[in-house]
Amino acid sequence: MILSVLHVTTYRYELPVRGVVQSHRLTPSNFDGQRVLSWQVEATGGTPGGGFRDGAGDWVQGVSVRGPVSEIAVRVSGEVETTDLAGVLRGHRESVPPQVYLSGTAATRADAALAELGRDAVAGAQDALEAAHLLSAAVAAAIVYKPGATHAHTSAAEALARGEGVCQDHAQALIAAARAQDVPARYVSGYLMATDDGTPHEAAHAWAELHVPALGWVGFDPANRCCPDARYIRLGSGFDARDAAPIRGVARGPGSESLDVTVAIQSVQQ
């Protein structure tokens, strides 16, 4: 499948700021299930800085904008050819060992409820892959998808206590439950093409990857009760949502900042 992406993030500042520095994880990597055909990232008035591929295999690009500036638009466009590998991340070059992703963060720290959820889910599992599927199913059942139920800083424990959330909450809860069972897990940001069956999801999407010894990293999307397939584009990974954020930055100046995001994903005739 060939997917086209148009993703625009617009930052507006109450008062003009002296400048903005951003770090972008907005460029997909190539692996067996994903091949970038064309890709462009532009920031209004932006000057590219240093760029590098980190240990997890993700491209990180620095961008700076000199002020005074009241509005910045980051525009991402391109086409990616995808293949359904049943969630298995095969052929992705990285140097970080899986055990690194056993470390928790504030957003993915497992409380007693998350640890119990994970423990009950894997009881009776015949192997590591079945355990991973059971963990994902348990999170999907425990947290009902509800847009607007949580916010960017909601932790996995808080989302489970609420019993509702969005894809970020599903991913972080799965990560927390998996790590509590000594399964390396990480957060993945990317895109998901809209479907015609009414299944709720966000085009700017997130899911989790769990490390299965026989297969390596395998993606699980509890929000949609599936593993990533050809409808998904993988952007980057991290310990939690903040670590894997496609855009992180700092604005130098007073006043508040507002954010508007539009994402369109379409299938292109091959």
pLDDT in tens, 19-56: 999 999 999 999 999 999 999 999 999 999 999 999 99
pLDDT at 194: 73
Residue 11: what pLDDT?
A: 96
Please tell me whether residues 220 and 97 are part of one structural domain.
yes
pLDDT class for 13, splitting at 50, 70, 90?
very high
Instruction: Looking at the structure, tell me whether residues 220 and 264 fall in a common domain.
Output: no
Q: How many CA atoms lie within 13 A of 66 on its CB side?
A: 3
Whether 146 and 199 map to the same domain: the answer is yes
On whether both 57 and 182 belong to a single domain, the answer is no
> Residue 202 belongs to what domain range?
84-238
Confidence of residue 254 (pLDDT cuts 50, 70, 90): confident
Question: Is 157 within 8 Å of 94 (Cβ atoms)?
Answer: no
Count up the domains in the chain and report the number: 2
CATH no. for residue 209? 3.10.620.30
179 pLDDT band, cuts 50/70/90, is very high
Residues 72 and 137 both lie in one domain: no
CB count in 10 Å sphere of residue 41: 20
Does residue 136 sit in the same domain as residue 96? yes
Whether residue 129 is found in the same domain as residue 250: no
- Which pLDDT score, from 0 to 100, does residue 139 have? 98
Domain shared by 59 and 157, yes or no: no
CA angle 221, 24, 147 (to 5 degrees): 40
CA dihedral 119, 121, 124, 127 (to 10 degrees): -100
Q: Within this chain, do residues 26 and 133 fall inside the same structural domain, yes or no?
A: no
| Distance between start and end Cα atoms, the chain | 7
pLDDT over 70, % of the chain: 96
Greater confidence, 269 or 7?
7
| CA–CA gap between residue 246 and residue 25 (Å, rounded) | 4
pLDDT at residue 200, rounded to an integer: 44
Residues 96 and 210 in one domain: yes
When pLDDT is averaged across residues 51-76 and rounded to a whole number, the result is 95
Query: What's the pTM?
Result: 0.94
Q: Residues 158, 129: one domain?
A: yes
Do 41 and 115 belong together in one domain?
Answer: no
Helix or strand or coil: residue 227?
A: coil
- The CATH number of the domain holding residue 10 is 2.60.40.2250
Which residues, 6+ apart, have CB-to-CB distance to 107 below 8 Å? 153, 155, 156, 172, 240, 241, 242
Alpha helices (H) in 91-127, listed in sequence order: 112-122
Cα 36 from Cα 82, distance rounded (Å): 9
Report pLDDT for 255.
83
Question: What value does the mean pLDDT of the chain take?
Answer: 94
Q: pLDDT digit string (tens) for 198-240?
A: 444 568 999 999 999 999 999 999 999 999 999 999 999 999 9
Closest to 172 (Cα-Cα) out of 228, 127, 111, 123: 111
- Which is more confident, 255 or 96? 96
**3-state secondary structure at position 148:** coil
